Structures are given as C-alpha cells and as structure tokens.
Structure 1
Amino acid sequence: MDTFPDLGSLSDQELKDLIQQLTEEEVDISYRRRILHGKIDILRAELVNRLRKRHEGGEEVITGADVQRLTDILAGRASNDEPTGE
C-alpha cells in the first residue's frame, strides 16, 4: 500500500486532485464489490435449489461430517483439511 503523503506539503490543487483520485478509486471498488455480491447471491441461490431438490428426493442434505465440520469451525479448530467421512 502506498504511504500517505505529508498533507502539509501539498498545495490546494494537489489535495483536490488526491481527493478526486481516491473518490474515483472508491467508486470503482464499490462497483466491483456489488458485482461480487451479485455473483455470490446467484451461487447461493443455486446451492439452495440443489439442496432443496436433494431433500425432496429423499437424500441426506446435512451429514454428520457437515455437523462436525461446523462444530470445529465454531470451536475455532477449523483447518484447511477436509474432514473425514463418518
């Protein structure tokens, strides 16, 4: 990350330019964030539809391994390793 400039050494125009630059950067980041949230929402909706179909088909939606993984996460014991099946 860039270091923040010494504000006392900047002219009024340099301050205005810096404000404009950072405002434009924030607008771009906000736009990208909204796009990412939209993609996440679409993916979550697809997952919910799949789980609903599995449930309607009589398949297990949540397994004991899923519950154990959630328990580990909540207890702060989460690791990057996949849990072993039960």
Structure 2
Amino acid sequence: MDTFPDLGSLSDQELKDLIQQLTEEEVDISYRRRILHGKIDILRAELVNRLRKKHDSGEDVITGADVQRLTDILAGRAEQSSEDAE
C-alpha cells in the first residue's frame, strides 16, 4: 500500500487530481464488491437448493462434522481446528 503524500507539499491541482484518482478507484472497488456479493448470493442459493433437495429425499443435511464445527466456532476454537485440519 502506498504511503499517503505530504498534503502540505501538494498544489491545489495535485490535490484535485488525487481526489479524482481515489474517487475513481473507490467506484471501481465498489463495483467489484457488488459483483462479488452477487456471485456469493448465487452460490448460497445453489447450496440452499441442494440442501433442500437432500432434505426432501431423506438424506442427512447436518452431519456430526457440522455439529463439531459449530461447537468449535462457538467455543472460539474455529481457527485452531482449521489449522489442525491441514
């Protein structure tokens, strides 16, 4: 990450240019963020559909591993258990 410039040493035009540059960068990042959120929403919807189909066909939707993972998360051991898995 770039260091922030010494604002006192910048001319008015340089400040305006920097504002414009950072504004354009923020717009780009916001756009990419919205795209990522859309993809995440689509993936979650697919997962819900698959789980619903499993449930409707009588398959187990929640396994013992899922319960253990939730227990670890609630106990604050989520990071340790993921490191142990590697």
**TM-score by structure 1 length?**
0.91
**Which moves more between the two structures, 31-40 or 73-82?**
73-82
How many residues are paired up? 82
Shift of 1:74: 1.8
The CA distance in 2 between the partners of 1:26 and 1:70, in whole Å, is 36
Q: Within 5 Å, which residues of 2 pair with 1:44-83?
A: 44-78=44-78, 79-80=81-82, 81=85
**TM-score by structure 2 length?**
0.91
Q: Structure 1: which 5+ runs fail to align?
A: none
Q: Secondary structure at the match of 1:54?
A: helix
Q: Structure 2: which 5+ runs fail to align?
A: none
RMSD: 1.1
**What residue in structure 1 maps to residue 15 of structure 2?**
15
Q: Give the letter for the 1:73 counterpart.
A: I
> Percent identity between the aligned chains?
93
Please identify which structure carries the higher helix content. 2
Runs of 4+ in 1 over 4 A off after TM superposition: none
